[in-house]
Structure 1
Amino acid sequence: MAAQKKRTITDIILHCTATPEGKAVTVASIKAGHLARGFKDIGYHYIIDLDGTIHKGRDESIIGAHCTGFNAHSIGISYIGGVDKNGNPKDTRTEAQKAAMARLVKELLGKYPGAKVKGHRDYSPDLNGNGTVEPCEWIKACPCFEVKTWLTTVGIKQ
């Protein structure tokens, strides 16, 4: 058996499951949804539950399926939630999810120094070419919070 080539990780991409605030969603149900869409496995490398539990998805050595065009060199993290009861984008992270996300991102930055942390929406195309991906250009609102601002609040410099 040939040794697996180590992936070069340049990005840590934050996502939400786009499920209603407070609704418990299992990793198994996320995986089933991804398999139904033709994925080989769950698309994310990590999922953060409502209570802050961090679940492993795909192994970090395996390319994810979470952000088209950026999967080869990224780690995908998703938190359960991201929309209000009417399906509108909302930062629904619990305090436990916020704390777990900060711990996980810091740990991953220790393993992958220099990686950039961004939200899924930040990978939308800059349609007007002004150098900034603005809300009107987002393909989706995921992860439903401003990652750049959040990084500052948890003491992570980019």
Structure 2
Amino acid sequence: MRVINLIVVHCSATRSDRCYTEHDLTTDHLRRGFSGAGYHYYIRKNGDIKSLRPVDKPGAHAKGHNANSIGICYEGGLDEHGRPADTRTPFQKHSLRVLVMLLLKDYPGSRLCGHRDLSPDLNHNGEIEPEEWIKACPCFDAASILQNPPPPNPACLLGIFS
């Protein structure tokens, strides 16, 4: 069994106004020579969580960190003009938080980070700063997933759903 101590959040680096399915992602990764999708989980715009690679198998998503990590990717990451942006829908934000919380329960002590946070520390100050990022991915601060719980569903507060 693999030792997991890192959960890495990615974006698919695709435009928010276009659809990019798990099949599209897997096909693109196969074309790049991977044995399948490099991520363990993929979160679609509607919040669906797709399992792409067994967790007991190393990913192909963060060079130098695949042996001990789980990779999560959300559909999007570029605005309609192709510029890096946090394009997560409310559904994606919710699903990502739930998935991360479950994984942290399964792998206690794991560190949560964004792909960009694994860039080299060029000035050796112990912090990966924006000017050092190799990529903008996932286009938001992944640590914020743990800091900002989503607001409650108003329908639940009214007792419509229970």
TM-score with structure 1 length normalisation?
0.92
Q: 1:82 aligns with which of 69, 72, 77?
A: 77
Aligned length: 150
Q: Which residue is equivalent to 1:114? A: 109
Tell me the distance in 2 between the aligned counterparts of 1:99 and 1:40: 30
Find runs of 4+ consecutive structure 1 residues off by over 6 angstroms. Answer: none
Aligned partner (choices 87, 108, 124) of residue 119 of structure 2: 124
The residue number in structure 1 matching 2:22 is 27
Is contact 1:17–1:78 with CA below 8 Å preserved after alignment? yes
1:48 pairs with 25, 43, 47, which one?
43
C-alpha deviations, 1:96-131, integer Å up to 9, x for none? 000000000001011100000000000000000111
Whole-Å separation in 1 of the counterparts to 2:101 and 2:132: 29
Structure 1 vs Structure 2 CA RMSD: 1.1
What's the % identity of the aligned pairs? 49
Letter aligned with residue 52 of structure 2:
G
The TM-score normalised by the length of structure 2 is 0.90
Q: Deviations 1:38-63 (Å, cap 9, x if unpaired)? A: 00110000000000000001000000
List runs of 5+ in structure 2 lacking aligned partners.
151-162
1:65-120 deviation per Cα after TM superposition (whole angstroms, max 9, x unaligned): 00000000000000000011221110000000000000000010111000000000
**Structure 1 unmatched runs, 5+:** 1-5
Higher CA-based Rg: 2
- Equivalent residue letter for 2:2: R
